[in-house]
Amino acid sequence: MRVKKFLGSWKYPSILLSSIGVSSIGGWVYFIALNLIVLDMMGVIAVSGLYILRASSTLLTNFWSGSIIDRFNKKHLMVWLALFQAVFIAVLPSLSSLWVIYGIVFIINIASSMYEPTSMAYITKLIPYHKRKRFNSLRSLIDSGAFVIGPAIAGMLFMIGTPNFAIYVNAVALFVSALLTILMPNIEKDDFIETKDEKISLKVLKHDWLLVADFSRKHVYVMVIYLLFSGVMVLATAIDSLEAAFSTEVLSLTERDYGLLVSIAGVGIIVGSLVNIIIVKKVATSWLIGLGSLMISIGYIIYALSGYFLTAAIGFFVLSFSMAFMNTGFDTFYQNNVPASVMGRVGSIYGFIEAFFIIVGTIIFGMMAELLSIRFVVVLGSLMMFSVTIILFMFNTQPSKAAYYAEISDTD
């Protein structure tokens, strides 16, 4: 009876995790295949344009998308966004103009940018507070698996077909993800969404921005944790942008050695995610965030100060191993402290801020690497991250803030 009850309670979370897994694996296949197609058409510079498109689409989407997300039925929006991406991705292989491809990719990235905060709000409403840590740990494992399995599947598809064929496979994967989402319950069917009949206008957007500002003033601690977490992500992205150059030019690693280094990071992610699943119910959410982020920065420092392949590999393994703990802890903290009714707007506005600083940080780190040295910039960035994670750890583990991490209440 207990087994039957357990299986019943995890029926929909399992379907949702399957949908996320299919979409994540397909996303990696699409990412690698698209890079190869553009590289073959126009060269390395054109591939760099894809990265700029991803960041710019997030910037141009997040300041208004939250207003739409909070006014729409989340399940329906997730289905339509997945189908929208599937259709436009299926069109890509038939295009021959780089600028048209850029335009379509930009549109796809807009839908992708909207999907993440939409799914976060849906997950918060679907998953009871006492199951969120477990669900988030499983989601972290699936995302980690996609990081390893996705490129492997892409390689197999390239062996039996072409990058265009791989693109079509991803379109099918997104279509399957949409079908799985259709099987999910319509948890907002009977909800009264106060703002759903409002037309999106500049006045409405301004009202929503003020709402986010007001929420931030009333929940200072929650938003401080959010900003510190974002600071870690910004610095990690900026350092990662120099990763290939640091490994080949500073550490003098061959392409084969660098590929092995990336594989070790993949192993670290998988192992960390598996350990995370085992211990997640026994470790406080605050420690998952605080200690997880601290270990990530230590991994970056080991990597930054390394002079040989072995120490660089140790650093890579430590930082990738720790990712699952920090992500699971933060997602749980966010879901438990930000009401689902405003989650789209709060997440999108703060996502906009994070995307802006990622672009600025990446540019500054790149310029500093050119003017000074790659080693200096990577070490500096790692030490800055360590400082941020020390502050985050101190904020997380304050006994007076324990109520923010308690699994005894819901937000909406």
Q: What count of other Cβ atoms lies within 10 Å of the Cβ of residue 391?
A: 14
Question: Is 412 a domain residue?
Answer: no
Question: Is 365 a domain residue?
Answer: yes
CA 38 to chain centre: 24
Question: Is 409 a domain residue?
Answer: no
Distance CA(88)–CA(101), nearest Å, equals 10
- 238 with 175, same domain: the answer is no
- 171 with 235, same domain: the answer is no
- 20 with 145, same domain: the answer is yes
Give the SS3 label for residue 128. coil
Distance CA(391)–CA(295), nearest Å, equals 13
Ordered per-residue pLDDT tens for the chain, 412 residues: 555 555 556 788 888 888 888 888 888 788 778 877 777 777 656 766 777 777 788 888 887 888 888 888 888 999 999 999 999 999 988 888 888 888 888 898 888 888 888 888 888 888 888 888 888 888 888 887 777 777 777 777 777 777 888 888 888 888 988 998 898 888 876 654 555 556 677 888 888 889 999 999 999 999 999 999 999 999 998 888 888 788 888 888 777 787 788 788 888 888 998 999 998 888 889 999 999 999 999 999 999 998 888 999 999 899 989 988 999 999 999 999 998 888 888 988 888 888 888 888 888 888 888 888 889 999 999 999 999 999 999 999 888 888 888 765 444 4
Q: Helices 309-337 and 285-305, interaxial angle, to 10°?
A: 150
- 158 with 261, same domain: the answer is no
Question: Is 411 a domain residue?
Answer: no
**Which tokens sit at 295?**
């270990």
DSSP 189: T
Question: Is 404 a domain residue?
Answer: no
Q: Do 234 and 351 contact (CB within 8 A), yes or no? A: no
Q: What count of other Cβ atoms lies within 10 Å of the Cβ of residue 252?
A: 11
The closest alpha carbon to 386, from 251, 312, 294, belongs to 294
Q: What is the CATH number of the domain that holds 210?
A: 1.20.1250.20
**Which tokens sit at 233?**
């992500």
For 271, half-sphere exposure in the C-beta direction (CA atoms, 13 angstrom radius) is 13
For 343, half-sphere exposure in the C-beta direction (CA atoms, 13 angstrom radius) is 26
Q: Helices 98-126 and 74-91, interaxial angle, to 10°?
A: 160
Distance CA(257)–CA(201), nearest Å, equals 53
- 375 with 345, same domain: the answer is yes
For 280, half-sphere exposure in the C-beta direction (CA atoms, 13 angstrom radius) is 30
- 164 with 205, same domain: the answer is no
pLDDT score for 411: 41
- 246 with 390, same domain: the answer is yes
pLDDT score for 9: 63
DSSP 317: H
pLDDT score for 282: 87
* Containing structural domain, residue 233: 201-398
Distance CA(212)–CA(217), nearest Å, equals 9
Amino acid letter, 25: I
pLDDT score for 409: 45
pLDDT score for 330: 93
Question: Is 406 a domain residue?
Answer: no
pLDDT score for 228: 95
Residue 57, H or E segment = helix 44-69
- 234 with 148, same domain: the answer is no
- Transcribe 26-43 into DSSP letters: HHHHHHHHHHHHHHHHH-
**Which tokens sit at 263?**
């594989």
Distance CA(116)–CA(404), nearest Å, equals 23
Question: Is 89 a domain residue?
Answer: yes
Question: Is 405 a domain residue?
Answer: no
- 12 with 117, same domain: the answer is yes
Domain boundary among 154, 184, 214: 184
Distance CA(172)–CA(29), nearest Å, equals 12
- 261 with 318, same domain: the answer is yes
What predicted TM-score, i.e. pTM, was given to this entire model? 0.84
- 122 with 7, same domain: the answer is yes
Instruction: Specify the number of domains making up the chain.
Output: 2
pLDDT score for 275: 92
Longest pairwise C-alpha distance within the chain: 67
Q: What count of other Cβ atoms lies within 10 Å of the Cβ of residue 248?
A: 15
Distance CA(78)–CA(129), nearest Å, equals 22
Domain boundary among 131, 157, 184: 184
Amino acid letter, 91: V
- 150 with 288, same domain: the answer is no
The closest alpha carbon to 153, from 138, 137, 166, belongs to 166
- For the chain, the 3-state helix, strand and coil shares in percent, each to the nearest 5, are 85, 0, 15
